């Protein structure tokens, strides 16, 4: 056994080119699989996380209030407190189409939204400075505003300087009480109309700025235990709304997690495709290994003949070749893993995603390439080892 091992190592070393070619197939196969999986996994986790930041726990309700049938804020809050087991937060959201004016400067890109005191938690934002809109502001229809960092930096230089300043919305002055921290990812510039160019005011104040004076949009957040069962909750909301509107064309309930479901489907499909590609590259590597093994054993028939004539038993020959195949393919596997890991990290840096080599796939690709090497090393070696030494010696 030890003998065969030494013989195998010696043989690998004394024929570096052939050993390297055998390894090359495995190196490429293993590295390709690891890099491929790393990149796709990185891409997927990037997509999932950016999706999650959009709030998978949110349900948005959109209603069309008619003069005869309508739902009021109070009704909505009653429904919310009746069903507290499902929800964590609720906020009416009122989009206002108005011009923001600071001093003499106009900004029509800034989005203005009327919200409740829960809205900061719904969006999962943090404050840079100051405070958020409070229940008292809403109840008293206070003219206070919370602004995005872009607005603060553009018109007041810093967030600190913005606090206490006045900002005019359609001619009405609002006092700035807080600034939300930066939402634009650190690699991008904050821009006009971007995710930091916004202004929040109490919805009670905002509703006055709209034409029909009704609130049409609400955002709920689900408790964690119901995120997976969002469809149950949406149907509860729909039942409630139907009892008011008696017509399901007048409202729409959308759960973000349902979007997540369809995204998960997409991810599953990508994984399947990935599996196919990885499988093909391993298969190609396997065919390469098989070729080289086959050729190298055939090429060495004479060597086998000499060894057998000098007294090597069938099992000794077989052992030598199998160990050779195993050592070659596992060395190829290890090199492939190293290259794969380095390649994944590099690709991740270049593509600006968090690509990491997956441990499971490392094991899987290593095992597969190793078994390919063993099987395709074993098969020709077995027939060579059974060969009559006379015939083997005669071959050239």
Partner 1 sequence: MKKQMAEQSESQSHEDTIAKVSSDDSSASVNAFQDSDSEEEEPDEYAENHDEIAKLKAAQKASRNSGEKSQTLYIPKEHIGELPLLELHDIYKIYKMGSEEVHANDGISINIYTGEFVAIVGKSGSGKSTLMNIIGALDVPTSGKYLIHGQDTSSMSDDELATIRNKKIGFIFQQYNLLPRDNLLDNVCLPLLYAGVPKAEQKERAMRQLERVGLADKWMQKPAQLSGGQQQRVSIARALAGDPELILADEPTGALDSKTSRQVLGFLKDINKDGNTVVMITHDNSIALEAKRIVRISDGKVVYDGTAEDYAKLI
- The residues binding partner 1 (CB under 8 A) are 3, 7, 10-11, 14-15, 302-303, 305-316, 388-390, 393
In the complex with partner 1, the residue whose CB is nearer, 157 or 391, is: 391
In the complex with partner 1, the residue whose CB is nearer, 102 or 392, is: 392
> Shortest CA distance to 48 belongs to which of 262, 344, 357, 233?
262
Compute the Cα dihedral for 234, 237, 239, 242 and give only its sign: negative
- Least Cβ distance, residue 320 to partner 1 (angstroms): 11
In the complex with partner 1, the residue whose CB is nearer, 35 or 312, is: 312
Residue 132 — φ and ψ, nearest 5°? -95, 175
- Least Cβ distance, residue 11 to partner 1 (angstroms): 7
In the complex with partner 1, the residue whose CB is nearer, 3 or 247, is: 3
Cβ atoms of 101 and 134 closer than 8 Å: no
In the complex with partner 1, the residue whose CB is nearer, 342 or 393, is: 393
> Shortest CA distance to 181 belongs to which of 116, 132, 113, 144?
132
91 C-beta neighbours (distance < 10 Å), count: 23
In the complex with partner 1, the residue whose CB is nearer, 274 or 387, is: 387
Residue 145 — φ and ψ, nearest 5°? -140, 145
Q: How far is CA 85 from CA 163, 228, 240, 375, in A?
A: 37, 14, 16, 59
Tokens of 288: 């390469």
- Least Cβ distance, residue 372 to partner 1 (angstroms): 25
Q: How many residues does the chain have?
A: 396
In the complex with partner 1, the residue whose CB is nearer, 32 or 304, is: 304
- Least Cβ distance, residue 20 to partner 1 (angstroms): 15
- Least Cβ distance, residue 22 to partner 1 (angstroms): 16
Residue 365: how many CA atoms within 13 Å on its side-chain side?
38
- Least Cβ distance, residue 18 to partner 1 (angstroms): 10
β-pairing, 172-180 vs 251-255, is unpaired
- Least Cβ distance, residue 293 to partner 1 (angstroms): 17
């Amino acid at each position: 056994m030890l003998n065969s091992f030494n013989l195998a190592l010696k043989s690998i070393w004394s024929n570096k080119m052939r050993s390297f070619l055998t390894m090359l197939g495995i190196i490429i196969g293993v590295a390709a699989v690891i890099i491929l999986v790393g990149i796709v996994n990185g891409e997927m986790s990037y997509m999932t996380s950016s999706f999650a930041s959009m709030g998978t726990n949110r349900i948005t309700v959109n209603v069309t209030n008619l003069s005869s049938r309508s739902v009021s804020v109070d009704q909505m809050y009653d429904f919310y407190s009746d069903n507290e087991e499902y929800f964590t937060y609720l906020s009416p959201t009122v989009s206002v189409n108005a011009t923001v004016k600071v001093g003499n400067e106009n900004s029509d890109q800034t989005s203005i939204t009327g919200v409740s005191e829960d809205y900061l938690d719904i969006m999962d934002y943090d404050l840079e400075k100051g405070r958020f809109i409070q229940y008292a502001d809403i109840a008293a229809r206070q003219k206070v505003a919370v602004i995005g960092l872009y607005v603060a930096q553009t018109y007041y230089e810093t967030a600190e300087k913005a606090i206490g300043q006045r900002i005019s919305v359609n001619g009405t002055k609002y006092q700035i009480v807080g600034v939300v921290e930066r939402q634009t990812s650190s690699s991008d510039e904050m821009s006009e109309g971007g995710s930091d160019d916004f202004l929040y005011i109490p919805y009670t104040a905002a509703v006055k700025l709209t034409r029909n004076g009704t609130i049409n949009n609400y955002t709920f957040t689900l408790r964690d235990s119901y995120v997976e069962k969002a469809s149950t909750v949406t149907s509860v909301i729909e039942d409630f709304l139907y009892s008011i509107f008696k017509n399901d064309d007048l409202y729409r309930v959308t759960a973000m997690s349902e979007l997540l479901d369809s995204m998960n489907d997409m991810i599953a499909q990508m994984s399947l495709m990935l599996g196919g590609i990885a499988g093909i590259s391993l298969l190609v590597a396997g065919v390469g290994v098989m070729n080289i093994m086959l050729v190298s054993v055939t090429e060495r028939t004479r060597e086998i003949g000499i060894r057998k004539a000098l007294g090597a038993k069938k099992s000794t020959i077989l052992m030598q070749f199998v160990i050779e195949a195993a050592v070659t393919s596992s060395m190829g596997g290890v090199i492939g893993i190293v290259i794969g890991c380095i390649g994944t990290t590099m690709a991740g840096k270049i593509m600006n995603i968090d690509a990491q080599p997956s441990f499971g796939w490392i094991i899987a690709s290593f095992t597969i390439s190793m078994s390919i090497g063993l099987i395709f090393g074993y098969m020709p070696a077995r027939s060579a080892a059974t060969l009559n030494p006379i015939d083997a010696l005669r071959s050239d």
